[in-house]
Structure 1
Amino acid sequence: MERKSIIGKHVKDHRYSYLLGFALLSISCLMQLVIPFLLGTFTDRLEMSLLTYREALRYALWMVLAGLAIALFRSVSRIYLFRLSRLLDMRIRDELFKHWETLSTRYFQNRRVGDLMSHAISDVSVIRDVTQGGIFNTLEAFVLITITVVTMVTTVDPLLTLFTLLPLPLLSVLAYRFKRRIQKESGEVQESIGNLTSRVQEFIAGIRIVKSFVQEREQIRLFDDDNRYAVATNRKLVKSNSLFGALSSAIVGFSFLVSVVLGGIMVLHGRISLGEFVAFNSFLSLLMGPIENLGKVVNTMQRGKASENRLLAILNTYPDVADDSNADPAIERIEGDIDIRGLTFRYPEAHEPALRDITLRVPKGTSLAIVGRVGSGKSTLVHLLVRLYNPPKGTVFIDGREISEIPLQVLRGHIGIVPQDQFLFSTTIRDNIGFDPKPYKDEEIEQAAKLAQVYDNIVEFPNQFQTALGERGVSLSGGQRQRVSIARAIIKKPSILIFDDSLSAVDTETEDRILEGLDDVMDNRTTIIIGHRISSVQAADQIVVLDEGAIVERGTHDSLLALGGVYADLHHKQLLDEATRGEPEWEDEAASVRPDERERAHRRPELETPSDTRSASGKIASTGGKAG
C-alpha cells in the first residue's frame, strides 16, 4: 500500500501524546494572559494615584509567579513534544534502512551513495525540524492567537481589535505566494547536499586511483563546482526566507502602528482607559511572536514537504525481487540439485539478452565450471541462481521446485557465494568471516581461515582475528581479501557453493593449496565455479563455455581439449603465457597441465554421459577470471 504521509502517520500514531503536549502548552498560553491583565490594572491604579507600596509589591509577586508558571509549563510541553520529534527521527531512519534492505540490487545500481546518505541524514533532519519546531510553533500560535483575540475583543474594544488585526490575514496570502518557491528551492538544497556527499564519498573510495593518475587538481575542480552549486542553492533559499521574513515583519509592524495610533486616539477620547491601552498592546505583543513564528513554520513546512516527498519516493519503491505468492513457507532448506531449462534473460535496461536459451543440469553434489569471455553472461547466470534478479518463470529449478517457490531467506541462506568484488566490512576479520546470522565459535572461524589459506596471514597481525579492517577491507591485499571472502562463504557449510573469480588475485601455488583444502568442503555440495584460469576449473565434473550469452561448448576438461574449440584455444594461450613468464613448458601436449593438476584431474573414475564425460566426485573451489 502506497504511503502518502510520514508526518501525518507519526502524529496519528502518537495522537494521545500530542494531545497531552497540547494541553500543557495551552496552560502555558493561558498563563501568558495573566501578565497583560496585571499590567493594565497596575497602570489604571497608578494613573488614579490609588496604588500603594504594598499593592505594587503584590502585583510584582503575581507577575513573577505567572512568569515562573509560564516557563514551567512551556518548558515541559517543549520537552514532551520535542521528544516525540526525536522518536520520529529514529523511526524514519529505522524504516528507511529496513526498506533499503528489502530493495533489489538494481535499485542501488542506479543511485549514488551520496544521495542515499543525504536521504538518511539531511532529509530526515528536516522532517524532524517540522515535527519539532513546526508543530510546537503551530500549536502555540493557534492557542495563543485564539484566546488572545477573544480576550482583546471582550475586555478592551472590538473595533480596535478589528482594525489592528486587519492587516494580519495578508500573512496567509504571503505564505501562499512563497509556498512553491520555498519548497522548490529546499529540494534543490537537498539535492546539492547529495551531490557534495557523493563527490566526497567517490573521492575517498577512489583515492588510490586519483593519486595514481595525478588527478588531485581535477577532483578539486569538480568538488569546487559542486560546492559552488550548493552555496548558490542555499543563497537562493536564504534570500527567499529573508524576503518572506521581512515582509512578515512589515505586516506585523503595521498592525502595531494601527494599535498605537488608533488606541491612542481612543484613550484621548476616553473610549478606553490608559490601563486598557497598555493591556491591549501587551496582548498584541503576545500575538506578534506566534504570528512571526507562523512565517518560520511556513518555511519549515515547505522544506519538510520537499524532504518528505523525497523520502516517500523511496518508501513507496517496491523491490523487484521478493517472495512470490506461491513461495512455500514449509521449505526450510535446499539440497542443491539445479536444473535450468531454456533460460533466456534480458536485463530491464538492456536491448539484447544477456543469456540465450541456457539448458543445464547440475546434480546435487557435483561441480560445474563456467568459462567465457568478459561479458559472456557468466555472472548473470549466478545472479539468477541467488535471485538477485528474477529469472523467467519455468526456467530455473532447484530440487525439482521452481526457484520462485523457495523463500528468499531459505534460498540465499543455503548458498555460499564468493563474489568478484570481495567486499569486506570495516569491522574485524573475525566478524567478516563469521558474517552470518548463525553465531560461530573461534575454532570454526580459524578452521575456515585455514581452508581458505589465509590463517597464516591473519595470525601475523598484532590483533590476529580481532584486527579491524579499513573501509571495504582496504588494509588487506587483494589476495587476502579474496581468501577472507572464501572463508566467509565456506563457514556457512551451504548446500550450493559459488565461486565467482575468487582466485584471480592469488598465485598458482596458493591456488593449489586452496583447492586441496577445499576438497573436503565441496564433498556432497553442489559447486559452481566461474573462471578464466584453466587450472581453477579443469577438475570440475562438467565445464560449459559461454559466448554472447549462449552455451557454445560443454564437456569435461579432456573432452573439450579434444574438441579443439574455444576452451582448447583458451588453454593453449594460457600455456604460452606461462612459458613467456618463465614457468615450466610441458613437452607433451597430451599432458596439457602441470603434473599435480593432471593427477588431481585423473585420479577419479570417469562416467559417460550423453553429452560429455564427467568425473564421479571431482570438485573445485575457486574461480579464475572476470565474470560476465
Structure 2
Amino acid sequence: MENNNIFWSHIKRNRLPYLMGFALLSISSILQLIIPWLLGRFTDSLQAGGLTYDKAVRFGVWMIAAGFGIAFFRSVSRIYLFRLSRQLEMRVRGELFVHWEKLSAQYFNNRRIGDLMSHAISDVGVIREVTMSGYFNVMEAVFLIVVSVAAMTSSVNPWLTLLTMLPLPLLSLLAYRFNKRIMQQSADMQSAISDLTSRVQEFTAGIRIVKAFVQEKAERELFTQDNRRAVEMNRRYVRSNSLFGALSAGIVGLSFLVSVVLGGIMVLKDIITLGEFVAFNTYLSLLMGPIESLGRVVNLLQRGKASELRLLEIFNTQPDVVDDVVAKPEIQTIGGEIEIRDLTFSYPEAKRPSLRNVSLKVPKGSSLAIAGRVGSGKSTLAHLLVRLYNPPKGTVFIDGHDIHEIPLRTLRGQIGIVPQDQFLFSSTIRDNIGFDPKPYSDEQVVEAAKIAQVYENIVEFPDQFDTALGERGISLSGGQRQRVSIARAVIKKPSVLIFDDSLSAVDTITEDLILEGLESVMDRRTTIIIGHRISSVQSADQIVVMDEGRIVERGNHEQLLAGGGIYADMYHKQLLDQEAKREDGQERHTAASQLMRGGAGA
C-alpha cells in the first residue's frame, strides 16, 4: 500500500482493467447519443409530413437496438468496474490486518477495539463505495458531458448550447462551499460509529460484571447517549447532503428553463427546427442525470477522503518492534542462556522507569524465579525477553547474542510464554492448545493438556477437545483458562519457558500437580517463573526479588528466608494466611458436624 494515496495506487495497479471498463462505458455513452438524434429526425419527418409507416418502424427498430446496446455495454462495464472495487476492498482490508500484525503492543494499548473495527469495516466500506459508484459515475458523467456538448454544439446550435450550460459552473462553486463541511461531518459520523461499536464491545465483554453489579440501567443510558450521538451525526451529514442535492437540482432546473425558453424562441424564429429542439432537450436530459450524480459523487468523494486519511494514518504508523538491521538470519535456534546487563527500561510516555539497573544471569537449562510485589517490574522483564517492547541495546543477551541480533521469528518461536491475562480465542480447546504455525497431533495435544492438569476437565465436556469456547474463553473458569494457556506454551517444547504468574488462579493442590507435571518439561530447558505465591517459586535454582523495578534480593529459597527481607516477609504472611484458612475450614467442619448431630437427635 502506497503511503500517500490508496485510490491512486489502486488505479495505477489496475490501469488496464480500468481502461477496458472506461472503453465499455464510452460505447454505452455513445449509443445513448443515438436516441436524441433519432428523435430529432423522427420529429422533423413528422412535421414535414414525410413520415411513412416503414420509416416509423425503422426509427423504432433503431431505438430498440440502441436501447439494448446501451443496457448491454453499461451492465458489462458496471460489472467490470464494480469487481475492481471489491478487489480493492479485499486488498485494503487484508493489508490493514497484516499491518496491524506488524505493529507493537504499545499501539494497541492506546486504541479502542471499536475504533479498529470501524476502520476495518466502515472506512474500508466507504473506500469500496467510492471506487464502485464514485468512479463509475465520474467516468460516465465526464465522457457523456463532453460528447453531449459536442453533439449539441455541432448538430443544433452553439449559442443555445453555451447559454444553457452557463448555470452549470455554479455546481463547482457549490461543491467547493460544501467540501469541508461534508468531509468534517463524515469524520464525525465515523467517530460516532466507532464510539457506538466500542460501547457494544465493552458491554458484551463485561456482561458478567454488568449483571453482578446491577448496572444494566447505567449501561443502557450510556448506550443511548452514544446511539443518539451516532444518529445526530448521521442526520447532520444527511441534511448537508440533501441540501447540496436540492441546490444542485435547482441549478440543473435553471439550465432546463434556459433551454426551453430560448430553444422555443429559436424554433419560432426558424433558427432551429422543431426536431433539433427535441433532440437538444433530449441531449440535455441525458446530460442532467450524470451532472446531478456528480453532486452526489462529490459528497461521496469527501467521505472517501476522510476514510482514506484515517486508513493512511494507520498505514503510515511504523512498527516499533521489527527485526533490527543487526539481526543475523543464520540464528535459527537458541539454547537458552540468558544474561541481563544493567537494564533500565521505561514504557513509552511513562514518567519513571519500570526497571532500574537490573543485572542477572540464567545458565542454560536452569530455572529462575522472580518474586515481588505488584508493580515491581516482574512482567516487564518477561515482555522484554520476547521483545514485545524493545530493550536498550547491549542490555539483554541470549546465548551471548544481543537480543536485537536474533530474528523475531526465531526468538518468539523458541520461547514459550504463559501470559498473565490467559487470553483464549473463541475457537475450540484443541485449536487454543495447538496455537502454533506448525500442526500438532491429537496425542501431542492430549499430552500437553495432561501436563497442565487440565485434561480431566476437558474430557468432562460433551465435545471434549472440540468444545467451542466463548469470547476470550469465557466458558472456562479462570483456573481452566490458565491451565489451557500453560498447555499452549508446553506443546511447543521451546528452549525457554516463561510462566508469568500463571498459577495464581489454581488451588495449592492443583499447583503442586502442575509443577510436578512440568518437571519433565522444564528438564534441560531454561525456565523463568514469575509469581507472588512462594509455593510456585521456591523450587527454582535461583530466586530474585524485585521492588520498584530493582532487584533487591537474590539467592535460593533457604538463603532468602535466612536473609529476613521481603521474600521472608512474603513467605511468613502467606504461611499465616494458609494457617488461618485451614483453621477456618476446621471450624466450619466442626459446626457442620454439630448441626448434623443435632438434627439426628431431633
TM-score range with shorter-chain normalisation?
over 0.9
Q: Which residue of 2 aligns with 1:32?
A: 32
In 1, Cα distance between the equivalents of 2:530 and 2:238?
A: 56
Superimposed CA distance per residue, residues 29-58 of structure 1 (whole angstroms, 9 cap, x where no aligned partner): 000011001100000011111111121111
Partners of 1:88 and 1:128 within 8 A in 2: yes
Q: Which residue of 1 aligns with 2:51?
A: 51
Give how far 1:311 is off. 0.3
Amino acid across the alignment from 2:463: N
Q: Which residue of 2 aligns with 1:400?
A: 400
In 1, Cα distance between the equivalents of 2:384 and 2:447?
A: 30
In 2, Cα distance between the equivalents of 1:67 and 1:554?
A: 88
Q: Which residue of 2 aligns with 1:342?
A: 342
Q: Which residue of 1 aligns with 2:529?
A: 529
Q: Which residue of 2 aligns with 1:487?
A: 487
Q: Which residue of 1 aligns with 2:91?
A: 91
Q: Which residue of 2 aligns with 1:15?
A: 15
Q: Which residue of 2 aligns with 1:250?
A: 250
Q: Which residue of 1 aligns with 2:378?
A: 378
Amino acid across the alignment from 2:212: S
Superimposed CA distance per residue, residues 82-107 of structure 1 (whole angstroms, 9 cap, x where no aligned partner): 00000000001000000000000000
Partners of 2:2 and 2:9 within 8 A in 1: no
Verify: 1:268 aligned to 2:255, yes or no: no
Q: How does 1:101-250 map to 2 (within 5 A)?
A: 101-250=101-250
Superimposed CA distance per residue, residues 95-144 of structure 1 (whole angstroms, 9 cap, x where no aligned partner): 00000000000000000000000000000000001000000000001110
Q: Which residue of 2 aligns with 1:589?
A: none
Task: Tell me: CA distance 1:43–1:584, structure 2 relative to 1, closer, same or farther (3 Å).
Answer: closer
Give how far 1:231 is off. 1.1
Partners of 1:347 and 1:354 within 8 A in 2: yes
2:529 match: secondary structure: strand
Q: Which residue of 1 aligns with 2:598?
A: none
In 2, Cα distance between the equivalents of 1:394 and 1:478?
A: 38
In 2, Cα distance between the equivalents of 1:423 and 1:561?
A: 35
Q: Which residue of 1 aligns with 2:472?
A: 472
Verify: 1:296 aligned to 2:323, yes or no: no
Q: Which residue of 2 aligns with 1:446?
A: 446
In 2, Cα distance between the equivalents of 1:179 and 1:117?
A: 27
Superimposed CA distance per residue, residues 398-425 of structure 1 (whole angstroms, 9 cap, x where no aligned partner): 0000000000110000000001110000
Q: How does 1:589-608 map to 2 (within 5 A)?
A: none
1:540 match: secondary structure: coil
Q: Which residue of 2 aligns with 1:497?
A: 497
2:331 match: secondary structure: coil
Verify: 1:579 aligned to 2:575, yes or no: no
In 2, Cα distance between the equivalents of 1:189 and 1:8?
A: 25
Partners of 1:99 and 1:315 within 8 A in 2: yes
Partners of 2:452 and 2:483 within 8 A in 1: yes
Q: Which residue of 2 aligns with 1:317?
A: 317
Give how far 1:504 is off. 0.8
In 1, Cα distance between the equivalents of 2:173 and 2:245?
A: 14
Partners of 2:40 and 2:277 within 8 A in 1: yes
Give how far 1:426 is off. 0.4
Superimposed CA distance per residue, residues 123-171 of structure 1 (whole angstroms, 9 cap, x where no aligned partner): 0000001000000000001110000000000000000000000100110
Q: How does 1:360-439 map to 2 (within 5 A)?
A: 360-439=360-439
In 2, Cα distance between the equivalents of 1:423 and 1:439?
A: 20
In 2, Cα distance between the equivalents of 1:464 and 1:550?
A: 45
Give how far 1:316 is off. 0.5
Partners of 1:459 and 1:465 within 8 A in 2: yes
Question: Which piece of structure 1 moves more, 55-64 or 569-578?
Answer: 55-64
Q: Which residue of 2 aligns with 1:614?
A: none
Give how far 1:584 is off. 11
* Structure 1 residue runs of 4 or more that deviate by more than 2 Å after TM superposition: none
2:582 match: secondary structure: coil
In 2, Cα distance between the equivalents of 1:455 and 1:364?
A: 30
Partners of 1:578 and 1:584 within 8 A in 2: no
In 1, Cα distance between the equivalents of 2:268 and 2:101?
A: 73
Amino acid across the alignment from 1:327: A
Task: Tell me: CA distance 1:506–1:314, structure 2 relative to 1, closer, same or farther (3 Å).
Answer: same
Q: Which residue of 1 aligns with 2:596?
A: none
In 2, Cα distance between the equivalents of 1:228 and 1:81?
A: 37
In 2, Cα distance between the equivalents of 1:402 and 1:535?
A: 33
Q: Which residue of 2 aligns with 1:618?
A: none
Partners of 1:448 and 1:491 within 8 A in 2: yes
Percent identity of equivalent pairs: 70
Give how far 1:2 is off. 6.7
1:582 match: secondary structure: helix
Superimposed CA distance per residue, residues 448-485 of structure 1 (whole angstroms, 9 cap, x where no aligned partner): 00000111111111111111111100111111111000
Structure 1 unaligned blocks of 5 or more: 586-628
Q: Which residue of 1 aligns with 2:557?
A: 557
1:498 match: secondary structure: strand
Per the normalisation by structure 1, the TM-score is 0.92
Q: Which residue of 2 aligns with 1:603?
A: none
Partners of 1:2 and 1:316 within 8 A in 2: no
Q: Which residue of 2 aligns with 1:330?
A: 330
Partners of 2:36 and 2:279 within 8 A in 1: yes
Structure 2 unaligned blocks of 5 or more: 586-602
Verify: 1:5 aligned to 2:1, yes or no: no
In 2, Cα distance between the equivalents of 1:135 and 1:532?
A: 61
Give how far 1:583 is off. 6.3
In 1, Cα distance between the equivalents of 2:18 and 2:390?
A: 45
In 2, Cα distance between the equivalents of 1:246 and 1:280?
A: 24
Give how far 1:75 is off. 0.2
| Pairwise CA RMSD | 1.0
Amino acid across the alignment from 2:546: L
In 1, Cα distance between the equivalents of 2:2 and 2:566?
A: 51
Task: Tell me: CA distance 1:93–1:110, structure 2 relative to 1, closer, same or farther (3 Å).
Answer: same
